[in-house]
Structure 1
Amino acid sequence: MTVSTLVSCSVVICAYTTERWTDLCAAVDSVLTQNVPVLEVLVVIDHSEELFSRAERHFAEQTRVTVLHNSGSKGLSGARNTGVHAARGDMIAFLDDDARAEPDWYRVSAAHYSDPDVLGVGGFASPVWPADRPVWMPAEFDWVVGCSYVGQPTRIEPVRNFIGCNMSLRRTVFDAVDGFSDGIGRVGKTPVGCEETELCIRIRAHQPSAQLLFDPAMRVEHRVSDDRATFRYFLSRCFHEGVSKALVSDLVGAGDALSSERAYTARVLPRAVVTGIASPRHGGLARAGAVIAGLAATTAGYVRGLVGLRSKRVTA
């Protein structure tokens, strides 16, 4: 496929804190230096005047970069929707402010859109740890730090949903199913998520023939900050993932919301525990314990989320 036949691409990068300034600049630079140029980069600042002013000044001379205020509700969903509304490309890609796209990121993703049934493409995210990878951290739980994990596909194939730091969607999707749902997703440092899961499920419900593809060649590096490399954050993120899954279940039904998770907990996690126990000298026992603790925390969060939703209905 030639460059001229690739769909045009708007890249949305959302940011909320000056603490990630260096990461944000690196994320934008990784998009601007793609082997095939993207149409534009939309940097959406989530309710931080200090960060907005700094970004506006810094990117003033970059003709392909536009800095925007989040005009929606505070949080990642509102910021992404702001970027979507401003985007001019036929394909809208999303990159986290602490991720860096590899040079062929756009071309790999865009090539799939020659098939009209392909409405979205997600890719692989590898963690960049602050030091060595924690010995207790099971690769099956790398989703905790927003990265690809053991249990995901290893080749191009359809998936239910993407990892939010590395995904693209056809622009027409948002005309058909609106945008990311308010009330789901990260707000500041609160470690919730699932906004992209809920959106992808809505896309498939609207158009059952839609193809949402995972392509491991669409790669980014996702930096893991010091605070996210701790066991405390691990448990907190797992718990809030459970809460988020309860919200998604309430919106789209548990059948769709938990379809991937059932296979993951039935096959991937038991195998991880067995593997860990079999290699105790290399941190295996710690990883096996983390798998059990992570599953327990996620389950507790899910139950807490369901109880909270029922309580709201009773008092409404």
Structure 2
Amino acid sequence: MTASVVICVYTEDRWSDILAAVDSVHAQSYAALETLLVVDHNPALLDRLTKEFDGEPDVKVLANAGPRGLSAGRNTGIAAARGDIIAFLDDDAVAERDWLHWFVDGYADPRVLAVGGHTEPIWASGRRPLWFPEEFDWVVGCSYKGLPRGKVRVRNVLGGNASFRRGAFDIAGGFATGIGRDGDKRPLGCEETELCIRITRARPDAVLLIDDRAVIHHRVPAGRERFAYFRTRTYAEGLSKALVARSVGADKGLETERAYSTRVLPAGAARGVRDFALGRAGGAGRAGAIVAGVLAAAGGYALGNWRARGAGATFTVAEIDAPTKEVGRTEAAA
């Protein structure tokens, strides 16, 4: 099987990270057919990357052909990709040598339509902040405590370290452009959750996997090690979950979150309290952060739900189309 790797980029501030991400794809034990760099409405970065990779036939630099944001960038990459499998790598992450190998290995079963991996944080300060609970590592785009380990079936993969069989997009369409991130604006997410639920609804026999042998290392900048970002990101996650629940229904949209909030988080808070009682550093901070994160996410979800029920025109999931249709429509309009 052939694999295309899509890396969405938006800022020159991550220049060295972008080059490192591409280098990690070039170093794979299972060679990628191509690497697609999709630039999100940044002409200067587009020009610089085009010059950087001029003459490298396996690297293509593309402009996001849809609206600004990560989802449209991914859809642009999907539309241009030639591989049987389309893998996504964050622009500030590096993949281990066997990353693609383990992705491709997962598709031996024809029912498998998506395979995700395991993402480890690289903290700017050199170590995890003492107050930062592992249960909330999704806040910084990494795998979190509570995810199943090994090679297991899941409801959804995590977007920064994921792959999809090309046919999944033919079945369910592309990423919804009204949910995910838009550069450095409010850190929304969940676009991959919404897509994965649509895939399994369109194909009830579909299998989605996480294989924690497919490892990447994700850089966490200093600004994201602060509690202010933690609070903002958890609140934005609540808003995103409201959008997902509206799009695909609360039964599936919140299925995994119910187990996480009723089992994983209480256990994490209890460990923090226990560590505090035993005089271990950071215990009280971790317990407090878990409580604060739950409250912020709940507040975001409540607001999102209220907006969705009320003046929906200002808070809706954008129209979902197949990636090729979205790109074609945008080019025609231009």
Which segment is superposed worse, 172-181 or 237-246? Answer: 172-181
Change (3 A) 1:299 1:41: same
Match of 2:73 in 1: 79
Instruction: Report Cα offsets for 1:91-122 as digits up to 9, x if no partner.
Output: 00000000111000001110111110011100
Instruction: Report Cα offsets for 1:165-197 as digits up to 9, x if no partner.
Output: 100000011111110011010001121000000
The 3-state SS of whatever aligns with 2:211 is strand
**Residues of 1 paired with 2:153 and 2:313: CA distance?**
39
Match of 2:19 in 1: 25
Q: Structure 1: 5+ residue runs without aligned partners?
A: 1-6
Instruction: Please point out which of 100, 121, 128 is paired with 1:127.
Output: 121
Q: How far does residue 162 in structure 1 lie from its aligned partner after superposition?
A: 1.1
Instruction: Please point out which of 177, 182, 186 is paired with 1:187.
Output: 182
Matched, 1:233 2:239: no
Match of 2:319 in 1: none
**Residues of 1 paired with 2:313 and 2:190: CA distance?**
25
The 3-state SS of whatever aligns with 1:279 is helix
Q: Counterparts in 2 of 1:50-129, with a 5 A limit?
A: 50-129=44-123
What TM-score results when the alignment is normalised by the length of structure 2? 0.91
- Structure 2: which amino acid aligns with 1:293? A
Match of 1:146 in 2: 141
**Residues of 2 paired with 1:99 and 1:314: CA distance?**
36
**Residues of 2 paired with 1:226 and 1:54: CA distance?**
26
Match of 2:269 in 1: 273
Q: How far does residue 83 in structure 1 lie from its aligned partner after superposition?
A: 0.2
Matched, 1:196 2:192: yes
The 3-state SS of whatever aligns with 2:149 is coil
Q: How far does residue 272 in structure 1 lie from its aligned partner after superposition?
A: 0.5
Match of 1:282 in 2: 281
Q: Structure 2: 5+ residue runs without aligned partners?
A: 316-334
Match of 1:173 in 2: 168
- Structure 1: which amino acid aligns with 2:130? V
The 3-state SS of whatever aligns with 2:30 is coil
Q: How far does residue 32 in structure 1 lie from its aligned partner after superposition?
A: 1.0
Q: How far does residue 62 in structure 1 lie from its aligned partner after superposition?
A: 1.8
Matched, 1:12 2:6: yes
**Residues of 2 paired with 1:313 and 1:277: CA distance?**
41
Q: How far does residue 226 in structure 1 lie from its aligned partner after superposition?
A: 1.1
Match of 2:155 in 1: 160
Q: How far does residue 311 in structure 1 lie from its aligned partner after superposition?
A: 2.2
**Residues of 2 paired with 1:24 and 1:314: CA distance?**
36
What TM-score results when the alignment is normalised by the length of structure 1? 0.96
Change (3 A) 1:279 1:88: same
- Structure 1: which amino acid aligns with 2:248? V
Q: How far does residue 313 in structure 1 lie from its aligned partner after superposition?
A: 4.0
Matched, 1:220 2:216: yes
Q: How far does residue 312 in structure 1 lie from its aligned partner after superposition?
A: 1.2
Match of 1:137 in 2: 132
Change (3 A) 1:82 1:105: same
- Structure 2: which amino acid aligns with 1:25? L
Change (3 A) 1:79 1:313: closer
Instruction: Report Cα offsets for 1:207-236 as digits up to 9, x if no partner.
Output: 111010010001000000111111000000
Q: How far does residue 61 in structure 1 lie from its aligned partner after superposition?
A: 2.6
Q: How far does residue 315 in structure 1 lie from its aligned partner after superposition?
A: 9.1
- Structure 2: which amino acid aligns with 1:276? G
Q: How far does residue 282 in structure 1 lie from its aligned partner after superposition?
A: 2.0
Instruction: Report Cα offsets for 1:239-272 as digits up to 9, x if no partner.
Output: 0000000000000000000000000000000001
Instruction: Please point out which of 27, 33, 39 is paired with 1:45.
Output: 39
